[in-house]
Chains A and B, each alone.
Chain A
Amino acid sequence: MKFTVERDILTDAVSWTARSLSPRPPVPVLSGLLITAEDGLVSIASFDYETSAQLEIEADIETPGKILVSGRLLNDIVRSLPAAPVTVETEGSKVIVTCRNSRFDLATMPVEEYPALPELPESAGTVDGTAFAHAVAQVTVAASKDDTLPILTAVKLEIEGDRITFLATDRYRLALKELTWSPADPSISTSLLVKSRTLTEVAKSLAGGGDLELRLPKETSTSDLVGFSSGGRRTTSVLVDGEYPKIRALFPESSPIHAVVATGPLVEAVNRVKLVAERNTAVRMVFTDGQVALDAGTGNDASANESLDAALEGDEITVAFNPSYLGEGLNVIDAPYVRFSFTTAPKPALMTAQQEPDAPEQDDYRYLVMPVRLTH
């Protein structure tokens, strides 16, 4: 095998595929990148039994062939090369990487031992990459980060026609996001569980520009893979198996109390006030007519308070939140105003986005958070 390609193109390609390599590969060959050169295209692939990533780049191919080489090492090498064409060539059991006056000899691994790459499921439709990435960021914030209940590290995607609903919870808060897309079959109705980490990775590495293709196994197939592709790059991931808890019922049916606050100033105020909220303590929000007063800390140690304008409808209410849960929710609200909806103080509080103080609420994104109970 022998091919030549510009350093920038190779660096992009290698670093993209190498990022899905497992840091602790289950078998040694899976620490490698599988590089195939044929028909004017070089394909680079990585796989860890759970996730696969594959892309193709154009290159000058002198001799077609296939090699397996340490991904981490190759990535380090190409990143450090000067900006010039790079030649990759096999020589016996070695692979030689040359660029201007630099030459690296790398060991290869036996290609025959590399497992077959999973087949990419068929496209089920396309979604705007930027909107997808935004939705993923808004929802994964609520997914569980620890493995106590493994199913909660997944995000649930419910697909009904041209609408995808993302759901995630870590038991203490819950995020729901609705997004429209262009399904190949307008009557599609399905749901799947995808690891939150996988979605974040896809949002980062695939949703950068243009449309993103969502690839789902056929109803009839036994495949348990979900695929994403965009501009020649594609990735597959094993779906999470199990029964996701029925969490939509957690949203209150009606909320008699509403408060609208400017998001930016509130984020800043929370960030200031929480400085004195030690681990396990809360930021308290006291909503009264026309304002919300934030406080945290205790009289004995440090304490802080700050007031902001707020438009309150309904009874005055005092609610305390875990400062991270509150802050993370506010960070992804992504609108000039945030609307809090309460039933009563110990019940879950709903946060939604709003463009103007008196505009109708937007309900395509909903962040539900359980308040903190203050004891004495």
Chain B
Amino acid sequence: MEERNSAGGPPPAAQDPSWDAVILHVDMDAFFLSVELLERPDLRGRPALVAHRGGRSVVLSASYEARRSGVRSAMPLAHALALCPGVAVVEPRHEGYTAASRQVMDILGSFTPVMEQLSIDEAFLDVSGARRRLGPPARIGALIRERVRERTGLPCTVGAATTKSVAKIASTRAKPDGLGVVPGAQTRAFLDPLPVSALWGVGPVLQRRLVEAGLETVGDIAAQSPRRMQRWLGSNGPVLVDLARGIDHRAVVPEREAKSLGVERTFDVDVTDRDELHRILVALSHECAFRLRRSGVRAGAISVKLKAPDLTVRNRSRSLAVPVDSAGPLAEAAEELLAELLAARRHPARLVGLRAERLSGAGVAVQDALPWEDEGAEADWSEADRVADDIRRKFPSAALRPATLVDGGPAPRRPRLR
């Protein structure tokens, strides 16, 4: 039985300096590569990286030994090979990563239900409610690292702070295989000396502008007036000042189990061009399929939503022969549904949406089609999608799109209407 303070105040452990650092950022170290090392212990301690072997491949994950030679994630493979000639290249196996990720997330979920998964290898936890049971956040962070290592054999780094932003910076500074704790009282002291690039949202371009204006450290930004920064950088200005001061009101939002998954696009100018609509549907299908795969589910049905300039909304749905998580079949069904909606009533589109419905776990059974000679494309779809995902979920902002969606790419091939 835990010792309780009869006055109802915090228990003695609350004296621990990390007591208020309840937001934890858990980040797996060189995740894809670490998973590979479980099977390839011979590569431990050697420069190694994960990448598809092929013409224009990029590095998906690199060992810290390889990083010493300047190899970075997202770097073209050819470039990495030039920097680090003896580097071992391991072909990615997405099933392994998905399974390991699920295992890790299960472990994290056992510490607190207030968990927000950011990507395949990162999550935020809010451990406020777990402190009485498990102790101060610094101890919970250590426990998480120990448990993940023990159950999966994989290293991770944990950052603990009072806000998401600072927790993420803390984990970045503590990498690899470390624990960084920034109690509330030490937040400013921790942030002030860091380069401005440590802040969320500061990329190379913004960094240059800030440095040129004489703002080199986070402390320099924290000292600015939010109003002045707003005049200079627009609405991002005050946000940046807040982040620099350690202020971040975003809560850890657990993802609810989705019943359906929708994506939609509203247009500034109503769209009439049929090919343009097709192009948009293909883009939405890719976005939707990516999110399905990220959630590890498949859609058993799909619906298309169409809003007319007079704001009336019509929906049309259909079930799919087999549950899918790839964009090809989604786009095919969506195109037919859109054609049916437009056949019933033709009008320019103010909004087009796509919703995947009747979601079911993908971790069970997948019914493939027979290997048709003239339809080999179908089987290739899912593999192509998965390769794209590996890249996309490591580098969420990377632009990887089907050719139809690239400006100047092949003209869209819209199925003819029956």
Contacts and interface: CB of A to CB of B under 8 A. Distances in A.
Interface string A94-121: 0000000000000000000000000000
Contacts of A280: 298, 300, 323, 360, 364-365, 367
A298 B360 CA distance: 15
A253 to B, nearest CB: 13
A148 interface: yes
A326 B80 CA distance: 49
A374 interface: yes
B318 to A, nearest CB: 8
B321 A372 contact: no
A370 B368 contact: yes
Contacts of A250: 370-373
A171 B370 contact: yes
B95 interface: yes
Contact of A172 (B95, B323, B364, B369): B369
Nearest to B329: A148
Interface string A237-281: 000000001110110000000000000000000000000000111
Q: Is the interface of A mostly helix, strand, loop or mixed?
A: loop
Contacts of B375: 245
Given A148-B321, A249-B373, A172 B366 contact: no
Contacts of B360: 279-280
Contacts of A171: 321, 369-370, 372
B215 to A, nearest CB: 49
B42 to A, nearest CB: 25
Nearest to B360: A280
Interface centre among B323, B364, B366, B371 (most CB of A within 10 A): B364
A146 interface: yes
Contacts of A249: 373
Interface centre among A174, A280, A298, A347 (most CB of B within 10 A): A280
A298 B371 CA distance: 28
Given A280-B323, A280-B360, A376-B99, A174 B367 contact: no
B370 A172 contact: yes
A374 B99 contact: no
Contact of B372 (A150, A245, A279, A281): A245
A171 B362 CA distance: 20
Contacts of A170: 321
Contact of B322 (A144, A172, A375): A172
A169 B365 CA distance: 21
A366 interface: no
Given A146-B321, A376-B99, A173 B363 contact: no
A348 B321 contact: no
B374 interface: yes
A368 B369 CA distance: 11
Interface string A269-298: 000000000011110000000000000001
Contact of B365 (A150, A282, A347, A348): A282
Contacts of B374: 245-246
A289 to B, nearest CB: 26
A170 B370 CA distance: 9
A370 B369 contact: yes
Contacts of B365: 280-282, 320, 322, 372-375
Contact of A348 (B323, B371, B418): B371
A173 B370 CA distance: 7
B370 A169 contact: yes
Contact of A375 (B321, B362, B372): B362
Interface in A352-376: 368, 370, 372-376
A329 B366 CA distance: 19
Interface in A102-144: 144
Interface in A14-37: none
Nearest to A174: B370
Contact of A322 (B363, B367, B373, B418): B367
Contacts of B362: 375
A154 B349 CA distance: 36
B378 to A, nearest CB: 9
A310 to B, nearest CB: 22
B39 to A, nearest CB: 15
B367 A370 contact: yes
A316 to B, nearest CB: 21
A275 B370 CA distance: 26
A144 B321 CA distance: 9
A144 B323 CA distance: 16
A12 to B, nearest CB: 38
Contacts of A370: 367-371
Contacts of B369: 171-172, 370
Contacts of A325: 367
A170 B320 CA distance: 13
A207 B189 CA distance: 90
Nearest to A346: B368
Contacts of A148: 321, 333
A130 B401 CA distance: 55
A171 B324 CA distance: 15
Contacts of B322: 172
B210 to A, nearest CB: 46
A173 B372 CA distance: 11
A144 B298 CA distance: 21
A374 B370 contact: no
A298 B372 CA distance: 31
Interface centre among B298, B374, B418 (most CB of A within 10 A): B374
Contacts of B95: 375-376
A170 to B, nearest CB: 7
Nearest to B378: A171
Interface in A222-250: 245-247, 249-250
A347 B370 CA distance: 8
A368 B370 contact: yes
Interface in B363-392: 363-375
Interface in B344-371: 360, 362-371
A370 B367 CA distance: 7
Contacts of B333: 148
A209 to B, nearest CB: 37
A170 B368 CA distance: 12
Contacts of B366: 372-375
Given A170-B321, A171-B321, A245-B374, A375 B368 contact: no
Nearest to A283: B365
10 contacts: A172-B368, A250-B373, A280-B323, A280-B364, A282-B365, A322-B365, A347-B371, A368-B370, A370-B367, A372-B368
Given A280-B300, A368-B370, A370-B371, 19 more contacts: A148-B333, A171-B370, A247-B370, A250-B371, A280-B298, A280-B323, A281-B365, A282-B364, A298-B364, A347-B371, A348-B370, A373-B365, A373-B368, A374-B365, A374-B366, A375-B95, A375-B363, A375-B364, A376-B363
Interface of A: 144, 146, 148, 150, 169-174, 245-247, 249-250, 279-282, 298, 320, 322, 325, 347-348, 368, 370, 372-376
Q: Which 6 A-B pairs have the closest CB atoms?
A: A282-B365, A372-B365, A171-B369, A373-B366, A370-B370, A281-B364
